[in-house]
Structure 1
């Protein structure tokens, strides 16, 4: 089973990940992984930390000569800012516990509840791990998963469809998004809407505030049958929702037309099925976003995620000092005022991990040769039943 574990703090030495379950003989392209990490750091509205860090992956084990060995892959992403924080964050030396102590906790962040749970008097111990800096690890993991799935023509893309109240209501083809999204400062493929989004970010920043938005993730060339209807924890949409909701600042996930299913009749929501010799079995629409009964249908997967505004505000909200219980304004940590662009990259790679997990579970194989053979056998059987790739 494909699984991973991450470790590390925002201002610690490194972010470390272990990715287990990758078949042997998958050739990895380090430049493609680093490009995903670079995209995570880009975008209009990002903060000063992005000027310090230039994330690059360092693979410590599980790969030889660019090819996976079948064992756990250990991954490091160094924190360049650690040199400025070593006297506060060194794991095994005496450190300065007072200069960077955080007692004035931030509404909307993990600060207060984390300290209550783990019995800390310093929210630094919480915010260092709960920080969205950790998502660099998940982007690296997702980028590796994409390279596995590339052998089977499965493709991913994502874009920003809303920042604040500025929405892009147009529908786009997968290829149009993929070809144009990286040309935009806010990963919005509509130039007019992009300009309005940038204006909104500037306005929010001038007020010392933050802003959230909505990102859309698309996956193309999936096979039917990833996931299962047989039990709740085998449904692929359930697992996708869990992993996406487990991503910092995500407060909502929907598939296809999402909550609009509640505003319509079944006759307008369900995707009618057709068959012809050229295309095989197909849905005439894709309102359900490529998932039925907890399983992929083979149609394009469409997922949207709502990201809340970042809770670190430069005009801080009223809060308390958790140690004295006196009223204070919340602490300010260096932060973005809009990270929706980064969110689209993170969520795309989070989805890639889940898709890869279910793909490997369904197809099976300890190495690329067996995986390919099993995949071709499954696709042939589907073809005998009328589904065409």
Structure 2
């Protein structure tokens, strides 16, 4: 018959004092610890009981991961961030920052839910910042604002209550909202640390959509931000890339030689891209893709068909160039249910 150990519930520092006075082996039900920074005290008190006295603790491995997390936070707080505050280009400090990010990522892989969410604030952000600053091909320097915000976050994380009960769901505070209405606002998003909900209703100009997407996608994928209009922004960015390809490569190539098969194939590819985009686009963007989706493909195919004596005229190339330029410069709503006055003004296009 298996021996059933009496239970003792541990959740506070006072419980640790009681634990130290007991000699008979027990089952330690570790419910929580009052703060991440106290993990070392709990581990030091519990580990000898388990290793040498025959006690059992159901959450000892989870406690060790919290201790490891606190060690990394302490290293950030006491050593790495002060070094970077004195010299943001300190290569040794940047390598230490990168190593800390890798270690955070490793801790996160096997962490219980409460710790997993907390480590997620660091595992990607810290590594990415260090990589960018160490990349010799990028003129990137970590800003003092980021270091200050990270120091505040570290202090908050070390003071955070840490439950070990898998059924415990910590209350999630409402995510703060950032309203973005210009490219300047989007660049300002880079300096925000905690996850936010981004309200983006329109882009300043279609040609700027890829830049909007690059910044916001990084926040959404790596830092847990939310942007409800991100799918629409992806479509506008794709449209902008197709227009830019037309403006910079295809149309100038046609003006130089309107029979060049390579350029004509690129024109056909742009037309097919517009057609695919048109199938998923909505609202104002749908109206814009209609200006290109059929005519580009049709002219390219006719010009490539050896059975037809068809040549693309300079007038047609100029007409498409005007359309491309106008579409790249107009602002565009991302909410497809809204009418866009800027798109309404394109009725006079050639």
Q: Is the shorter-chain TM-score for this pair beyond 0.5, marking a shared fold?
A: no
Greater RCO, 1 or 2 (C-alpha within 8 Å, sep 6+): 1
Q: TM-score range by the shorter chain?
A: under 0.3
Bigger radius of gyration: 2
Structure with greater strand percent? 1
TM-score by length of 1: 0.20
Structure with a larger share of its residues in helix: 2
